[in-house]
Structure 1
Amino acid sequence: MNQALVKHNFSYYLSLMSFVVSLLLNLKRPQFVQLIVLMGLGCSIQVQAEILNAQTQLSDKKQSVMRICYEDKNNFPFVTKFDPLNHNPNSIGQLGTLADLIIIAAEKINLSVNMVRQPWKRCIQSLKQGQVDAIFAAIWTAERESWGVFPKLNGAIDSDQRLWRAKYPIFTQKDSNLTWSNGHFSGLHLGVSAPLGYIAYDKLNKLGVLPSNNLSAEEGFTLLARGRIDGYVIEQYIGKNIIKKLRLSQQLSSLPEDFMQMDWFMPVSHQWYQQHPELTAKFWQEMSEVRKLQGEAIFNSYMNQ
């Protein structure tokens, strides 16, 4: 119990004792015994009530734990190969730019987070079923509101509370004839791919330009270098890192116009938001502040590794 509660109880019992002493001076013996019994019962009830009240206060103040899922791929510099289950999840500088932003923001509002890694589509399914409380990083669409709650302002998506703003170029061979302008491809022969489950994949599918096979980034860039597909779409820094790792930098480049620019968010489950609307809003706001104040420095710390 806090000091205010203790002070209140002391004043209460002092007043009670004054009343009892005054009453006892005017009572006969049988009445005195009855009064002592009643006082004992009353004190017992009072103590039990205060214990229950203290337990309730502690329960209310008990720290919530948010289960956060993110993709089990090395999407450097935003998420790294390190698994939070095998490393200290609070080790800033190991898990990636986005994970660091989230961890720092959570610490600032005294929120415990438990990070897990799964295939991206499984993260989405787990969020939908309430098996995890949040996922990152997700692009907003109206359809995605069926399984997640995104930050909004006056009914519209609030881009100020994004995790990050990302550019998605179209990677091609350096001597490719493929062009992209004003939402249209030209010089297309073999198709343009993107990771399955990503918004880029859905947009390419609507344009009717996907090749027959679903390709991971490594598979896509390998086939692109061999001239088996026309292009591959993925976030620019993730793509450049994979190309560097595959030693394809001399063969591949990107088109001048980006395929898309999108904001990344950390949506929460409907179940979590229903229980913690104020905490969620506070967390989103804190992440926005951390991104503005520390985001560039955190990002550069990974890029300079």
Structure 2
Amino acid sequence: MLRNSSVLTFVLTMLIAGNLQAAQSAIALDKPVALRFCYEDKPLEPYYRGSGAQVPKDFPGATIEHLHQLTAAIPGVTLQLERRPWKRCLSKLQTGETDALVASYRPEREQIGNYPMLDGKPDPSRAFSEHHTCLVKKADSTWTWDGERVRGIDSLVVARPLGYAPLIVPGPQQVSMHYTLSGTMDLDLLQAGRIHAVTTLCKIAGQAVVSSVISDLGLQVLQPPLHSNTGYLVFSKQFSARHPQLTAALWHQLHLNKAIPVYHAYLKLHFLQPSAEKNTQ
């Protein structure tokens, strides 16, 4: 999978150097600040790679590379990474045991952390990332998705990793979310016929993609995407209160630097172009 690792290393190095020169922050910190960032202990390509508590030394994921760029642009800020189950990350953000994470917006999450807001809504110009989610089914399943509703099935069961938000799937009379410990378990259940669908990232940083794992299993990715998701850098209320200028500066860095080339470079490690994917509908 890392056959392109030398090229990727060169590309990422040049991107980081160029972005740092273009986006240095004018903020001056009174003393060094370590930003504690919590993220999921399961792989989520291309954002996070590897599993367990260990942070991969090489190619940790596009989100981690992006974060390093953002913090390196502000002298005096260092990044401390911690991997936990996703629900544990959310809990630690609420208590202030961790300082930041990347999450989609949900109104109830305003109680546990601070989003970059504009006119009472999350500010898309300071979003961290954006991707689209597609349904995936077995190739011999008869139900369909036409972009507006699922047809041909009355009760649909969709597997999602534990802690992920439920999805609205129009069409069936009943839609159930079956939560599992990992995306791998989702695929196993789908292959065994115990559920009807799983979800997969199918458009990342503006580029349509198909997971090579999905492709190898001969599963069918249903287009167009079911759902779009915007990720935000969410700070704990405790960190924002201690470092309001730094919080604002890091959000401003996201306005300047979306790191799109970094995400596209990582996509080459795990994803295929859909035009070459025969199982994409």
Task: Give the C-alpha shift of residue 287 in structure 1.
Answer: 2.5
Determine which structure has the larger strand proportion and give its number.
Answer: 2
Measured against aligned partners, the alpha-carbon deviations of 1:182-202 in whole angstroms (never above 9, x if no partner) come to 664332355122222112x35
Whether 1:214 aligns to 2:180 is yes
Aligned to 1:118: 84
Aligned to 1:260: 227
Gaps of 5+ in 1: 1-59
Q: Is the 8 A contact 2:160 2:179 kept in 1?
A: no
Match of 2:162 among 174, 192, 196: 196
* Mapping 1:159-198, distance limit 5 Å: 159-181=124-146, 184-188=149-153, 189=155, 191-198=157-164
Q: Is the 8 A contact 1:152 1:158 kept in 2?
A: yes
Measured against aligned partners, the alpha-carbon deviations of 1:221-251 in whole angstroms (never above 9, x if no partner) come to 122223322111232379724425xx30x2x
| Percentage of identical aligned residues | 26
The normalised TM-score by structure 2 is: 0.74
* Mapping 1:32-51, distance limit 5 Å: none
Measured against aligned partners, the alpha-carbon deviations of 1:102-139 in whole angstroms (never above 9, x if no partner) come to 11110001221111100000000000111000012x10
Whether 1:140 aligns to 2:111 is no
Whether 1:279 aligns to 2:246 is yes
Match of 2:198 among 220, 223, 232: 232
Aligned to 1:299: 263
Aligned to 2:19: none
Q: 1:202 to 1:190 in 2, by over 3 A?
A: closer
Aligned to 1:81: 50
The normalised TM-score by structure 1 is: 0.68
Q: Per the alignment, in what secondary structure is the counterpart of residue 235 of structure 1?
A: strand
Task: Give the C-alpha shift of residue 87 in structure 1.
Answer: 5.4
Q: Distance in 2 between matches of 1:202 and 1:127?
A: 24
Whether 1:68 aligns to 2:32 is no
Aligned to 1:129: 95
Equivalent position amino acid for 2:43 in 1:
N
Q: Per the alignment, in what secondary structure is the counterpart of residue 234 of structure 2?
A: coil
Aligned to 1:15: none
Q: 1:159 to 1:87 in 2, by over 3 A?
A: same
Dislocated runs of 4+, deviation >4 Å = 82-88
Q: Distance in 2 between matches of 1:192 and 1:87?
A: 30
Q: 1:62 to 1:85 in 2, by over 3 A?
A: farther
Rg larger in 1 or in 2?
A: 1
Q: Is the 8 A contact 2:55 2:81 kept in 1?
A: no
Task: Give the C-alpha shift of residue 301 in structure 1.
Answer: 2.1
Q: Distance in 1 between matches of 2:94 and 2:70?
A: 24
Q: Distance in 2 between matches of 1:63 and 1:84?
A: 25
Task: Give the C-alpha shift of residue 302 in structure 1.
Answer: 1.8
Q: Per the alignment, in what secondary structure is the counterpart of residue 257 of structure 2?
A: helix
Q: Is the 8 A contact 1:149 1:270 kept in 2?
A: yes
Q: Is the 8 A contact 1:193 1:220 kept in 2?
A: yes
Q: Is the 8 A contact 1:218 1:242 kept in 2?
A: no
Q: Is the 8 A contact 1:79 1:97 kept in 2?
A: yes
Q: Is the 8 A contact 1:191 1:229 kept in 2?
A: yes
Task: Tell me the C-alpha RMSD between the 2 structures.
Answer: 2.7
Whether 1:243 aligns to 2:209 is no
Q: Is the 8 A contact 1:82 1:94 kept in 2?
A: no
Gaps of 5+ in 2: 1-28, 204-208, 270-281
| Aligned positions, number | 232
Q: Per the alignment, in what secondary structure is the counterpart of residue 169 of structure 1?
A: strand
Aligned to 1:95: 60
